[in-house]
Amino acid sequence: MHFTDLGLRAEILRSISEQGYDTPTPIQAQAIPVVLEGRDLMAAAQTGTGKTAGFTLPILQLLSSRDTGLSLKRFKPRTLILVPTRELAVQVHDSVRTYGKHLPLKATAIFGGVGMLPQIKTLRAGVDVIVATPGRLLDHVSQRTVDLSGIEILVLDEADRMLDMGFINDIRKILALLPKQKQSLLFSATFSDEIRGLATGLLKNPASVEVARRNAAAEAVAQSVYHVDRDRKKELLIQLIDDHGWHQVLVFTRTKHGADALSERLGKAGIKSAALHGNKSQGQRQRALEDFKRLKVNVLVATDIAARGIDIDELPHVVNYELPNVPEDYVHRIGRTGRAGSSGQATSLVCVDEHKLLRDIERLLKKDIEKRVVAGFEPDPRIKAEPIQKPRSARSGQPRTAAPAGQRKPQRQGQGGQPARNGGNPRRGASHHTGARHH
Ligand code: AMP
């Protein structure tokens, strides 16, 4: 199939070909016709599948071909795309701009951690598409700086992540503000009962599309495990980067503190690196990402949530400096590489404390990951496993670290296992992004 077979207008096809794409990905081939028909959609697709264009392209088509009838309505936003994180908001907004470049439609991204005023100004000037995180959107609602009564199309992107992050109440509040008559699209990597519940209330006779889970797609990623002692991981990582000449590596740590410490150590070893986590300001995070994309820094050390939605074409390497507590996060992490058909490498440094986590991951992948030991870094068999610092369990309804639905306990974790700073209010976290819930 070719993009020209999908009935998209010339202006949109032009921006697609400017991006160098000619074949729709499976999710695009399935979702675009359904959305164009005006149907509700429930889509199982993870990042890396091309899902963003899967909803952006047909939405642009619908918006540009529909006459709103009321001239007043022109000043009201017509599409709302809700996303869990500001990084994703920026990315989806970029996609809308890129694909809508040749159309007279306006889009904006609304997220916390930055001033309200510029957003208010943009909203006042009139936009067609709002890409927003729930918390900041509600801030605008309460200040009456946004009017959602003209929304024709709603997208919940990464719905499972939004629920994981404790946004369910915010989402429900937002849904209550939208017109009953609208087209709704729900994208989620997993379908827990909670997601299904949300979908049942929201979607009318939805078409359902599903693409291979990232577990299967992650076949494109060459995975290996290096066994090493816990205290020698930094040294081994430096050696691997040097020996293999890795020039663009996304490294995952479990904690913000760990990310900072590792980034500092790499810097001392002469490796250009930056840390990305929720305690960094929006400016610092954007800069770190840009520098990494442009190869001004070669290693980006990130925590799971901070790295979510990072979209770097052909990122060659992902390193799990520490294995995630939740096996599904491993899949999300390695999904940062090997995207949209390019090949990638995922390397995990595993110490004796993490053997059980590794087994759980292999069980989820339904295969063994290749094990390696670097000469000089053989694990010392006398070292005994120590418990991994687990997030403190906390009150329910708090933002949680990602975990497969059904087996999660509400949990939150501040830096170094300290309680989160934002008083556990997900809205505050979303708006101001203290990052206290982020790792
Ligand atoms: P997403 O799943 O939306 O985060 O997209 C993953 C990556 O695939 C992004 O870098 C897109 O630019 C890229 N992409 C999207 N659609 C296509 C396509 N049809 N052909 C090739 N790459 C694509």
53: CB partners within 8 A, 6+ apart:
16, 21, 25, 28, 95, 99
Q: Output the pLDDT for position 390.
A: 53
Q: What is the pLDDT of residues 124-180, one digit of tens each?
A: 999 999 999 999 999 999 999 999 999 999 999 999 889 988 899 999 999 999 999
Examine residue 22 and state whether it is found in any structural domain, yes or no: yes
Are both 19 and 51 inside the same structural domain? yes
Domain's final residue, options 358, 373, 391: 391
Q: Which atom of ligand 1 is nearest to the CA of 19?
A: 12
Residue 53, pLDDT > 60, answer: yes
Considering the domain architecture, whether residues 197 and 225 belong to the same structural domain is answered as no
Residue after which a domain boundary falls, among 373, 391, 409: 391
Q: Is residue 234 located within the same domain as residue 337?
A: yes
Residue 149 inside a domain? The answer is yes
Nearest-CA residue for ligand 1 atom 6 is 48
241 located within any domain: yes
Residue 250 backbone dihedrals phi, psi, to 5 degrees: -100, 120
pLDDT for residue 419 is more than 60 = no
Domain assignment present for residue 34? The answer is yes
Nearest alpha-carbon partner for 214 in 344, 306, 322: 344
Question: In which element (H, E) is residue 82 found?
Answer: strand 79-82
Residues 236, 160: one domain?
no
Same domain, 205 and 233: no
Give the up-direction half-sphere exposure of residue 375: CA atoms within 13 A in the CB hemisphere: 1
Q: Which one is predicted more confidently, 423 or 355?
A: 355
Band of pLDDT at residue 207, cut at 50, 70 and 90: very high
Residue 338 beta carbon below 6 angstroms from any ligand 1 atom: no
| CB of residue 312 inside a 6 A radius of ligand 1 | no
* Helix, strand, coil tally for the chain in percent (to 5): 45, 15, 40
Pair (290, 192) in one structural domain: no
**Which H or E element spans position 223?**
strand 221-227
Kindly provide the residue ranges of all beta strands, DSSP E only, lying in 245-392, ordered along the sequence: 249-252, 273-276, 299-302, 317-320, 344-350, 370-372
| 60, 157: one domain | yes
pLDDT for 431 equals 33
Domain boundary, last residue among 184, 210, 236 = 210
For ligand 1, whether the C-beta of 50 sits within 6 Å is yes
Q: How far is CA 399 from CA 73, 229, 258, 344, 435, in A?
A: 36, 32, 21, 31, 11
Residues 59 and 180 in one domain: yes
C-alpha 24 to ligand 1 mean position (Å): 9
The CATH number given to whatever domain includes residue 366 is 3.40.50.300
Stretch among 205-209, 269-273, 398-402, 435-439 having the lowest mean pLDDT: 435-439
Q: How many domains does the chain have?
A: 2
pLDDT at 291 over 70: yes
Q: Do 203 and 236 reside in the same domain of the chain?
A: no
Percent of the chain whose pLDDT exceeds 90: 61
- Range of the structural domain that residue 363 is part of: 221-391
